[in-house]
Structure 1
């Protein structure tokens, strides 16, 4: 079973989500504030397949928890926000969240987002390659890590990892912005949404790719982006 940790200060919401997700074969742990969340996270961090963070909590906020979690783990994170302000959503993604849902939402929508993230993570996909190698880098889809040619860990946010994984799975393909947003965030990009472009610039920086003359992730004007490095894979033993 997949184990999900949810923090929300509303008791009815917690009970509803727990009942709904357990009916769909998920194991669910609950927390009502930041302190109880951190206690549960420290206890089960190695077993979790996903974390759901409410932004508004009585003793802290979801952004602070997101930053702590991402500093310790690459577990996928979904943030719940009652705000319609795009700034809140962008902040969450920049801190390492993998997706966000605006309140009010239905449990069915949340379940769809959870399933989409698990699909993108390759969970239970035994036939998929574990390792992708390019230009001295190695991406490990089980550990969700990237190391360089000197075996030094490359620090990636959750969204960095999702973008890179999708790129190495489609080397040489021209990927438009809508496809990349759908695959990494579960939604299309609006015509004025530049957050994907900002995130790609950050990923280039982490890979040492020259932003002005990139040689790994190239911009195809009017079409999207292409991962131009040669990629090889190694199936797990």
Structure 2
């Protein structure tokens, strides 16, 4: 069964372009011209990924991304005419999985769509045993993280994948390029802070004091190190 994509853009030509191209490679593509139409589609159709224009006539795309992420783990790629790093960083902090600038390169967009959908797909090859560290427990099969007190901690698909990368490589410095390649199958650009943003979001969920992390440590000029002892059942 093909995945359902929702293209949200007030430009009819862009919607038609993306519908035609993405439909030709096997996706089912739905459309919405504004935030009101987006919300209506989400209540009536199962959606796997949203291509969300940052500037809509009735809402800010970044605010919408935060609203959607609060209720759903659906994939979100923001498409925008704004190319400043601060816009990309803010979009990722508010819950988007990726960020693409206009004019859109269709092949690049397709690669990013596939990457986000791949991260959201079930992992049949994941090891069945739990992975434990400092009282925390990761269930790879259920893609669930349990805190030391037994509370299940909600993670986005990207946050869970990032945690799995760290848990599989404990006490080893991972560069941003290594992490970016594992997550998105591309290297980080010189001004790309996407990994830093994702690490920050993950720290806020697993560190006692995210401003003084002891689990995910920064290694100046090198990357990040997952410091706790990790055991797998």
TM-score category by the smaller chain?
0.7 to 0.9
The corresponding residue for 1:14 is 15
- Name the CA distance, whole Å, in 2 between partners of 1:158 and 1:79: 16
Offset of residue 3 of structure 1: 1.6
Unaligned runs of 5+ in 1: none
How far apart are the structure 1 equivalents of 2:194 and 2:106?
27
In 1, are the aligned partners of 2:6 and 2:32 still within 8 Å (CA)?
A: yes
SS at match of 2:91: helix
Separation of aligned partners in 2, 1:167 and 1:65: 30
Query: Mean alpha-carbon deviation: is it higher for 93-102 or for 192-201?
Result: 192-201
Query: How high is the TM-score relative to the length of structure 1?
Result: 0.82
Equivalent residue, structure 2, for 1:94: 93
Q: How far apart are 1:161 and its partner, in Å? A: 3.6
Answer yes or no: is the 8 Å Cα contact 2:4–2:48 preserved in 1: yes
Q: Unmatched 5+ residue regions in structure 2?
A: none
Q: Kindly state the Cα deviation for residue 116 of structure 1 after the two structures are TM-superposed.
A: 1.7
Give the superposed CA RMSD.
2.8
TM-score by length of 2: 0.83
Q: 4+ residue stretches of structure 1 with deviation over 6 A?
A: none
Q: Secondary structure at the match of 1:66?
A: helix
Aligned counterpart, 1:166: 165
Partner of residue 126 from structure 1, selected from 121, 124, 127: 124
Matches within 5 A, 1:32-51: 32-44=33-45, 47-51=46-50
Q: Does 1:4 align with 2:5?
A: yes
